[in-house]
Amino acid sequence: MTEPFVAANLSDVAAWEREWAVLRECASPARVGERLLKLFPGVDWRQLVLLAEKHGVLAQLGVCLSEHDTLPVPPEFKQTILERGRAQNFLTLRLIGELFRLLELFASRGISALVIKGPALAVRAYSDPSVRKYGDLDLLVRQRDIRRATEALIASGYRAAVSLEAIDAGRIPGQYLFSKADSNLIVELHNDSTLRYFPRTLPIEDFFSRQIWVRVDSHDVPAASVEDELVLICVHGAKHFWERLSWIADVAGLVSRHANIDWERATASARAAEAELLLHTGLRLAAEVLRAKLPEPIAAGVQKDAAAAGLAARVLRWLPAAGAAPLGLFERATFRMRMRGGLLAGPAYLLRLSLSPTEEDWQVDERISNHHLLDILRRPIRLARKYGHNKKN
């Protein structure tokens, strides 16, 4: 198998401007062959494949090249893309098989779960569960079912990162993480308590009441509605500062392949969690970066949202680097405040995130801290140490 590429200095945007343009075109649901033919001459293929990997869109690059087989792809890079695509296919099949098994396991114990992101999103955004890169399974589960779900997963061979003792103590992590060391399988359980980057508590019962069934490899799996999924992935992208093109491609793919989206419902879903700004930001990025076509009057509303325009402009400054130029502590804090908007709401949102302990704050070597106040005080110090190490601070 082809050796992995050594990471280049991706923060030097001007050095690979052409490769970035190619990648955007290949990830666009509105890609045009003639445009690609004009872009490909002079492409640094090593840099292009590296950039696609970092942005999580190598599969989209492979699909794009297969659709336009007249493009001058050097044989060694065609083989590299093929091999890595095959490896992603194998992982996807394993994850989908495990998803079916876990859904049956939960159903047998009366535990309701919704599939979010992962294969359900891949099918809806790309019509193929293997095109979207993911390495874990994400399920939405009510908080009251977390203990029973944890017991079920432990009995099924998973190791729980958050112990039953921590659950009984009422500690809330960033996510309930489960792993199988022998198979590299990872499962994450989420709910209205863990999805803390929503400006307002996620109305999880509404999500369950609007659930739909998505066909994944001849099986129907319970999933969030398209409208709710759209809000989820826009908040998720903002949580991670939209540093990967793959997150924008998810939004572009979802809105482009679902002409029947109920935009009133999508807007109402975002409004219920006070996440309209984050929804508009995701939609604006999908339109500006990948030429996703938004219907009127949604497009007009997004264009009029000055706060969303400001957030998107910030994202476009660091997006091409795929996280190779980490944001400084001040820039991270400023972006967080702008995610919420408002002179009072923004700082209050940042303060809540900064003082809401996760497992990194209250769990050390599987031991649980007994001092909640110290956990709260420990969190901003830990964040400052984690993100305050470069010259941007």
pLDDT at 11: 61
CATH 3.40.1390.30 is held by the domain 94-224:
no
Distance, in Å, from the CA atom of 302 to the CA atom of 278, rounded to the nearest integer, reads: 11
pLDDT in 10s for each residue of the chain, 393 residues: 445 454 556 666 667 899 999 999 999 999 887 888 888 888 899 999 999 999 999 999 999 888 877 777 888 888 888 898 899 999 999 999 999 999 999 999 999 999 999 999 999 999 998 899 888 999 999 999 999 999 999 999 999 999 999 999 999 999 999 999 777 899 999 999 999 999 999 999 999 999 999 999 989 999 999 999 999 999 999 999 999 999 999 999 999 999 999 999 999 999 999 999 999 999 999 999 999 999 998 999 999 999 999 999 999 999 999 988 888 899 999 999 999 988 899 999 999 999 998 888 888 766 788 788 888 888 888 888 888 755 444
What are the backbone dihedrals phi and psi of residue 183, each rounded to the nearest 5 degrees, phi first? -130, 0
End-to-end CA distance of the chain: 41
Distance, in Å, from the CA atom of 97 to the CA atom of 213, rounded to the nearest integer, reads: 17
Q: What 3-state DSSP class applies to 47?
A: helix
Query: Between the CA of residue 58 and those of 19, 85, 88, 246, what are the distances in Å?
Result: 13, 8, 10, 9
Q: What is the pTM of this model?
A: 0.93
Q: In 153-183, which positions are buried (b, 16+ CB within 10 angstroms) versus exposed (e)?
A: beeeebebbbbeebbeeebbbbbbbbbeeee
pLDDT at 8: 55
Query: Between the CA of residue 122 and those of 59, 147, 216, what are the distances in Å?
Result: 11, 29, 9
Helix H segments across 171-225? 204-209
Q: What 3-state DSSP class applies to 37?
A: helix
- The answer to whether 197 and 239 are in contact (CB under 8 A) is yes
pLDDT at 39: 86
Closest CA to 208 of 108, 295, 116: 116
- The answer to whether 161 and 178 are in contact (CB under 8 A) is yes
Q: Which residues are bridge partners to 220 per DSSP?
A: 215
Q: Which residues are bridge partners to 159 per DSSP?
A: 179
The structural domains of the chain, with segments of one domain joined by +, span: 13-87, 94-224, 328-393
Quickly tell me which residue has 């874990």 as its tokens.
Answer: 136
Distance, in Å, from the CA atom of 31 to the CA atom of 358, rounded to the nearest integer, reads: 41
Q: Which residues contact 232 (CB under 8 A, 6 or more apart)?
A: 116, 117, 224
Distance, in Å, from the CA atom of 188 to the CA atom of 186, rounded to the nearest integer, reads: 7
